[in-house]
């Protein structure tokens, strides 16, 4: 019998065993996550002063090396945290955009995992074969304001050629000094992306960036694609159908494209949306599990056997999600009836200090939205849009609203209450009903893109549903929750 005939089953067995081991570590990572989740983070809006004590803690841990590698425009330190002794360098950087912190949180979860006494064999394989380098908050000035751009007002991810920003200069300097073999470019994307032609949100999206206009695939880019296929298979287990793939057109100014070009096998990861996960804590967990699993497959080299064909099978990103979609409702205009779909999003308005937010929702589109999807979708066939009513009694203060039965008001079709004295510092209504000033004139009811979505849905003369500030409420069951309503002075 020839050697080749022996080799084929042996190779199959080796691949099978490697995949089985990685499935085991993935499941274990997912099941034990709460043990390693960094407890000081539970919301998206994290700032540099919140990660500083954690970084300081790792300075005193002999397993970690912490180096200040740069400063932001406002002087906040940019720190590189490294661990491991292997020859293969893996570089992970997060929050290049200040309002994209999901992976930053996951990085500190990964640190907790790495410093623990658990998973000894897996960690030995990782840390003896790899040296891991983390730059967890590249744009701390943007994070301070929860904004995409840095203090210079530029997108750092479009500064790879001019290198005007100190943050961009630091990123290139670190990449070059490490001559990193693998790079993880960690971002957040809009929650309104979906996996193409499906109603599934793109909870995680990937890209192996192109390094030239021809979009050629060399060994480094091919390795990135294989790792993405591997990570996609992990996410499918926990968020089936909720993975997207970015268009790979070459962007000569972008860091991801250039880092790929400079010889680092680069994987872009974008954290998107997940139902009932506004603070992205479940997506944070998926980041933790998939990134650690990917690091493990790099350490043992099993990614090399993954076919490239799986990369193109990941559906492309699309952007056709709404927070709430109303379908097939009847809208009366100038004596005629029309059937309309409405798509609306709950837009976040940051509170002072950029630590929290409130919602100011908008109708984003209307008409035939049959090719669009909603996190919540309501088929309003047989229902008519109606304007909400103003409660007839003038309330003296906002505190007086505590005496009212809100459920009863909503069932009666009231969506506005007049208040004589509205504190100037109050930006949003803490009640599920809009607060309007004593002299505020309610405009005539007219549905159009850009307005706040507030209306009744009436059937046979009865108000069965309301939408207030983009939140749907069932008046019969009370199901639905208005996080906040608006104030119109």
The Cα-based distances of 170 to 71, 143, 157, 295, 351 in angstroms read 8, 17, 13, 23, 31
φ, ψ at 218 (rounded to 5°) = -95, -170
Residues 248 and 367 in one domain: no
- DSSP 8-state symbol, 442: P
Which conformational region is residue 310 in: left (phi greater than 0), alpha (psi within -120 to 50 degrees), or beta?
A: alpha
Q: Is the pLDDT of residue 1 over 70?
A: no
pLDDT category of residue 10 using cuts at 50, 70 and 90: very low
CA dist 436 → 312, 366, 406, 446 (Å): 52, 26, 16, 18
- Provide, rounded to the nearest whole percent, the portion of the chain with pLDDT above 90: 95
Q: Are residues 314 and 325 in the same domain?
A: no
Based on the domain organization, do 101 and 163 belong to the same domain?
yes
Domain boundary among 318, 349, 366: 318
What's the rounded Cα separation, in Å, for the pair 74 and 150? 10
Q: What is the CATH number of the domain that holds 452?
A: 2.30.40.10
Q: Residue 434: is it exposed, middle or buried by C-beta count within 10 angstroms (0-12/13-18/19+)? A: buried
Q: Where are the alpha helices (DSSP H) in 71-187?
A: 102-115, 120-129, 140-145, 166-178
Arithmetic mean of pLDDT over the chain:
95
The whole-number average pLDDT for the span 467-481 is 95
356 located within any domain: yes
Q: How many CA atoms does the CB half-sphere of 118 hold within 13 Å?
A: 12
Q: At residue 451, what are phi and psi to the nearest 5 degrees? A: -90, 165
Tally Cβ neighbours within 10 Å of residue 12. 11
CATH of residue 273's domain is 3.40.630.10
Tokens standing for residue 244: 């997207």
Q: Which residue blocks in 277-351 are alpha helix, DSSP H? A: 281-300, 309-313
Mean predicted confidence (pLDDT) in 2-8: 38
* Structure-block tokens of residue 177: 């000094």
Rounded Cα gap, residues 67 and 80, in angstroms? 5
Q: In the predicted model, what is the mean pLDDT of residues 167-179? A: 98
Checking if the pLDDT of 191 tops 70, the result is yes
Q: What residues make up the domain containing 70?
A: 16-318
Alpha-carbon span 299 to 488, nearest angstrom: 58
Q: What is the pLDDT at residue 53?
A: 97
Residue 16 pLDDT more than 80? no
Q: Domain check: are 75 and 111 in the same one?
A: yes
Contact call for residues 265 and 220 (beta carbons, < 8 A): yes
H/E run at residue 336: strand 336-345
* Tally of domains within the chain: 2
CB neighbourhood size of 438 (10 A): 12
- Whether residue 5 lies inside any domain: the answer is no
SS3 assignment, position 54? helix
Instruction: Name which of 468, 325, 449 is nearest 387 in CA terms.
Output: 468
Residues 409 and 299 in one domain: no
* Residue 24: per-residue pLDDT: 75
How far separated are the first and last CA of the chain, in Å rounded? Answer: 88
Say whether both 109 and 254 belong to one domain.
yes
Query: Average pLDDT, stretch 33-45?
Result: 97
Last residue of a domain, one of 318, 347, 381: 318
Buried b (16+ CB within 10 A) or exposed e, 170-184: bbbebbeebebbbbb
Enter the tokens of residue 185: 């470019």
User: 3-state class of 317 per DSSP?
Assistant: strand
Q: Tell me: pLDDT of 445 over 80.
A: yes
In total, the chain counts a number of residues equal to 489
Would you list the DSSP string of 7-53?
HHHHHHHHHHHHHHHHHHHHHHHHHTGGGTS-TT--SS---HHHHHH
Same domain, 297 and 337: no
Q: Could you tell me if 30 and 170 lie in one domain?
A: yes
Round to whole Å and give the CA distance between 303 and 229: 9
Contact 127, 86 (CB under 8 A): yes
Q: Are 232 and 337 in the same domain?
A: no
122 belongs to a structural domain:
yes
pLDDT at 17 over 70: no
Does 12 score more than 90 pLDDT? Answer: no
In terms of Cα–Cα distance, which of 51, 466, 36 is closest to 292? Answer: 36
Give CA angle at 206 (200, 291), nearest 5°: 105
**What tens digit of pLDDT does each residue of 405-436 get?**
999 999 999 999 999 999 999 999 999 999 99
Q: Give φ, ψ of 369 to 5 degrees.
A: -110, 35
**Are 310 and 379 contained in the same domain?**
no
Q: Which of 283, 318, 353 lies at the terminal end of a domain, its last residue?
A: 318
pLDDT tens by residue, 228-263: 999 999 999 999 999 999 999 999 999 999 999 999
pLDDT at 19: 52
Residues 349 and 292 in one domain: no
pLDDT at 50 over 50: yes
Residue 420 lies in a domain: yes
pLDDT tens-place string over residues 84-131: 999 999 999 999 999 999 999 999 999 999 999 999 999 999 999 999
Q: Mention every residue, 6+ apart, whose C-beta is less than 8 A from residue 10.
A: none
């Amino acid at each position: 019998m020839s050697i080749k005939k022996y080799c084929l089953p042996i190779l199959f067995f080796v691949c099978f065993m490697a995949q089985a081991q990685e499935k085991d570590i993935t499941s274990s990572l997912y099941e034990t996550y709460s043990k390693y989740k960094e407890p000081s983070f539970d919301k998206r809006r994290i700032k540099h002063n919140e990660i500083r004590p954690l970084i300081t803690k790792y300075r005193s841990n002999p397993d970690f090396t912490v180096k200040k590698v740069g400063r932001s425009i406002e002087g906040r330190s940019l720190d590189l945290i490294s661990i491991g002794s292997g020859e293969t360098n893996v570089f992970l950087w997060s929050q290049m955009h200040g309002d994209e912190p999901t992976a930053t949180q996951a990085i500190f979860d990964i640190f907790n995992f790495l410093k623990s006494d658990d998973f000894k064999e897996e960690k030995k394989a990782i840390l003896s074969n790899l040296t891991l380098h983390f730059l967890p908050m590249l744009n701390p000035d943007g994070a301070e304001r929860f904004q995409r751009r840095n203090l210079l007002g530029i997108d750092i991810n479009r500064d790879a050629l001019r290198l005007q920003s100190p943050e961009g200069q630091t990123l290139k300097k670190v990449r070059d000094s490490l001559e990193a073999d693998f790079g993880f470019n960690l971002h957040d994307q809009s929650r309104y992306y979906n996996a193409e032609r499906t109603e599934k949100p793109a909870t995680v999206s990937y890209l192996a960036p192109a390094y030239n206009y021809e979009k050629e695939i060399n060994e480094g880019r091919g390795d990135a694609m294989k790792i993405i296929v591997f990570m996609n298979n992990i996410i499918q287990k926990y968020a089936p159908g909720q993975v997207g793939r970015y268009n790979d057109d070459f962007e000569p100014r972008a860091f991801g494209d250039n880092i790929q070009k400079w010889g680092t096998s680069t994987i872009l990861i974008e954290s998107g949306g997940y139902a009932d996960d506004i603070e992205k804590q479940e997506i944070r967990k998926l980041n933790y599990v998939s990134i650690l699993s990917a690091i493990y497959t790099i350490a043992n080299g099993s990614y090399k056997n993954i076919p490239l064909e799986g990369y193109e099978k990941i559906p492309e990103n699309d952007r056709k999600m709404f927070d709430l979609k109303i379908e097939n409702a009847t809208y009366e205009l100038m004596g005629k009836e029309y059937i309309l779909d409405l798509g609306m999003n709950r837009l976040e308005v940051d509170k002072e200090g950029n630590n929290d937010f409130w919602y100011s929702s908008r109708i984003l589109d209307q008409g035939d939205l049959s090719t669009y999807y909603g996190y919540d979708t309501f088929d309003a066939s047989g229902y008519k849009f109606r304007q909400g009513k103003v409660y007839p009694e003038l309330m003296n203060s906002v505190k007086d609203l505590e005496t009212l039965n809100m459920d009863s008001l909503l069932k009666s079709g009231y969506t506005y209450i007049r208040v004589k004295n509205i504190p100037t510092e109050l930006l949003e209504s803490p009640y599920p009903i809009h607060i309007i000033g004593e002299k505020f004139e309610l405009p005539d009811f007219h549905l159009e893109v850009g307005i706040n979505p507030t209306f009744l849905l009436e059937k046979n003369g009865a108000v069965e549903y309301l939408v207030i500030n983009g939140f749907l409420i069932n008046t019969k069951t009370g199901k639905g929750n208005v996080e906040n309503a608006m104030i119109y002075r």
